[in-house]
Structure 1
């Protein structure tokens, strides 16, 4: 696959959508089981996780393992952002350094020259 600006935009958009759906889905279960015990949160979580699984089918790349490996770094950064925005989680220097390393890894996974 040859990278173009539109493919990069598509991947970034889909990675962000996937992370929102995955984190939202897991948080739905977290709220249902650990916080509120409301089954509607679990239903939301299940629907969100099903949608999350489908997002990767829209990726312009063919290597599932490479997609998931790169997504892992996006998930790390998104998890920190969610924690800070929703739960008031205070990030420290180690969180920022770790997230930066993860994003650098995403770039290497995706854009390393391949034959």
Structure 2
């Protein structure tokens, strides 16, 4: 359960932090947007350390699938663009891959 919470929190923090930079560079927002953006990206990095994995690379690889799903949710909620069937299908494939990486039996 901690893994799910850590990944979900990390995804929100990463997307919010990256969006702060997007808003500054692409939407003409104030550079002050970078302050919460940087804090959010630091929180993202911290949350990934909470994932129960013996190897950082494996935790990061599995996170990739979670991030993709979160980005599609962001597209829908924050940007008002409804995901199409290819967005949803691709997200599910990535999430399945993340589960295989993180939960696969290891010797």
TM range (shorter): over 0.9
The correspondence of residues 5-44 of structure 1 with structure 2, limited to 5 A, is 9-44=1-36
Displacement of 1:112 in angstroms is: 1.1
TM-score, normalised by the number of residues in structure 1: 0.88
Structure 1 match to 2:63:
71
Displacement of 1:60 in angstroms is: 2.0
User: Bigger shift: 49-58 or 15-24?
Assistant: 49-58
CA-based RMSD: 1.0
Displacement of 1:36 in angstroms is: 3.1
Structure 2 match to 1:6:
none
User: Bigger shift: 90-99 or 49-58?
Assistant: 49-58
Structure 2 match to 1:49:
41
Unaligned runs of 5+ in 2: none
List 4+ stretches of structure 1 deviating above 6 A: none
Alpha-carbon separation, structure 2, partners of 1:96 and 1:89: 13
Where 2:69 maps in the other structure, the secondary structure is helix
Structure 1 match to 2:76:
84
Unaligned runs of 5+ in 1: 1-8
Q: How many pairs are equivalent?
A: 107
Displacement of 1:89 in angstroms is: 1.4
Displacement of 1:10 in angstroms is: 0.4
